[in-house]
Structure 1
Amino acid sequence: MRLAGKKALITGAARGIGLGCAKLMADHGCDVVITDIDVAEADRVAQQVSSHPAIELDVTSKLAWSAAIERAGDLMNGVNVLVNNAGIIIPGTVESLDEAGWDHTMNVDLKSVYLGCQAALPVLSRNAPASIINIASISSMIASANFAAYNAAKAGVHMLTKSVALHAARAYTDVRCNSVHPAFVDTDMVDQVTKTDDREVNRSKLARQIPLGRIATVDDVAWAVVYLASNESSFMTGSELKLDGGISTM
């Protein structure tokens, strides 16, 4: 089992990429704790993939993070993998997006990663080898006029990952931090960036932008997370995995 002995806390795990990561990690022997702000849905997922109850987690709250890390550590007898997956997207240009939308995006997409890493590092260090995996986006590297806040937040995650990796390498032993950068992924979130209600038409239009001719599946991302959580990536830190079907090469 690739993840035997791994104990992971996953944020935003009630649906989408987080759910896919939880399922695949559990399939490969990882002990997982499901967290989400939607605790009812998180509980439903936890019953499928975990032997532990879900934890309600508002990723924008420092106190909530401290409680979640402590609780997950109690449930699993330690934590040695953190997957910072929770995220939102609020479309808008620098002129059309209001301040509330900007602040909410920054809090959920960027501040949450800062708070999660800060809360988890001491626990991870006591359970090393340990890995932090931050779900960023190819939007951290490729800009869009209509994703002003999302571009900025995910670019922040990209650089924060590198800063955390350097800090962890100096302050602790065998604690790594890397980021994953998907392009369009077949989840409900992708519907927020399309202009029609026809899911197949939307996905076909997005796929035509990708050199490989399709959008990513949730499993495409989850396999990358399994790799980064495993000892197979033990010499990898401060790096980014681009899962973009080649779009960033254009």
Structure 2
Amino acid sequence: MGLAFRDDGEDAAEREATPPAPKEPRRLTWQKLTFLPALVAVVLLITWLWFRNADLDTISKNALSGGQVWKDLKQHIELTVISTFFVLIIAIPLGILLTRRMFRKATPFALALANMGQATPAIGLLALLVIWLGTGQRSALIGIIIYAILPVLSNTIAGLKANDPTLMEAARGIGMSPAMVLARVELPLAVPLILAGVRTALVLNVGTATLAVFGGGGGLGTLIQAGITNQRMPILLLGSILTIALALLVDWLASLAEVLLSPRGLEART
């Protein structure tokens, strides 16, 4: 029996020619986890110290007394969370439905309606809802939901349509039912785009919720309106800073969710 021998020089050359295996990217870095929250905390601390030492007049003190700031912040968070929840349970199932063969022809119509909802000025939409439903959180919530449906709906449709048809055929070929293909193949592949739409909707909701005050919905818009109406810059500044800080923190949390919930196999390798 003959033995095959190979030159060690050839092995070394092959090892040099073979590129190293790509390293698994780090999903979260300490900078991503700490930088933005630390920055927001510093801004809020500076704002608090300034207000603590500021010489406020009676009107400003009355506008901020009785835990009004905390109450407005709590209402704003509630408006954002509740509206986002309803956006998700409406837009994602609707996006899935519109990508099924039976309902694909309705996709342009549904997207046109969603576009109309976002193209309408938010304050005008809220005014129409107040005329129809009266003042209160219900009108504000419906307006915020209509305004934020488009990014989640369009990204859900785009994410499902972007899936490779050969993967769907392969999944069906191994005996998966349509529901199993959707749950185990289509949705996991579409998760990054869907989460990007959710992130956009969250930030939109934080901003749009400031207009809820004009419909009697409360929120941080109460401070902003009080500052404008009474011409008190400290109150206006406080409401604006809190709104911006909340939007930044919500966007940061959504970015973490994008990293943690996206399938590892879809991450870009360096």
TM-score (norm 2): 0.27
Q: Which has the higher contact order (CA 8 A, sep 6+)?
A: 2
Higher helix share: 2
Query: By percentage of residues, which structure has more strand?
Result: 1
